Amino acid sequence: MPLHLHIDPLNGLPVYLQIVDQVRRAVAIGVLKPGEQLPTVKQLAGDLVVNPATISRALRELEHLEIILSLPGRGAFVRADARAGVAKTGARDVVSASMDATIREARSLGVNEDDLYALFRRSLEAWYRGDGTHGAR
C-alpha cells in the first residue's frame, strides 16, 4: 500500500512534524512495514510541494526516533524494530497530536474550555464506560 501524506498549512504544527507524525502512524498501523523503503527526498518534496530541506529534517527526526534507517546512496527504510518503538511512545504521541489538533479547531470555532471539557468527558465515558457510541446529545 503506498504512503499517502497530507500537509495542512493551517494545522499550526510545523510541516516536518506533520510528516513525522504521519509516518509514525503509518508504521504503527502497518501501512509501512519493516524493511519497506520510503520515497526519496526529491519525490516527497515534489509530491507535498515542500522544500527538500523540510523532508530531510523529517527523515532525520524519524531516524533519531529509531523508526527509519537511512543508508547512504540507498535511501531510507523502515527499521525492523520500528513498530515496537512506535508502540512504546507513538500511541501517546499520536493521541496527543490529535488532541492538540482538536483543541486548535475548537478554539478557532469559539468553543470555550468548559464546553470542551464537557465534550471530552462525554466521549470518554461513552468509549470507556459505555458501548462506544455517542453523538450530539
pLDDT class for 42, splitting at 50, 70, 90? very high
CA distance 111 to 116: 7
pLDDT in tens, 86-101: 655 666 776 777 788 7
Confidence of residue 45 (pLDDT cuts 50, 70, 90): very high
Confidence (pLDDT) at 41 = 95
Could you tell me the domains of the chain? 15-128 (1.10.10.10)
Pairing of β 68-71 and β 75-78: antiparallel
Q: Answer for the pair 40, 63: CB distance below 8 angstroms, yes or no.
A: no
Q: Which residues touch 50 (CB under 8 Å, ≥6 apart)?
A: 7, 15, 44
The angle formed by the CA atoms of residues 113, 119 and 120, to the nearest 5 degrees, is 90
Helices (H), the chain: 15-28, 41-48, 52-64, 82-85, 91-108, 113-128
User: Per-residue pLDDT tens for 47-84?
Assistant: 999 999 999 999 999 999 889 999 999 999 999 988 77
Residue range 8-33, pLDDT digits in tens: 988 888 999 999 989 988 988 889 99
DSSP at 10: T
Res 137 pLDDT > 50: no
Chain mean position to CA 87: 13
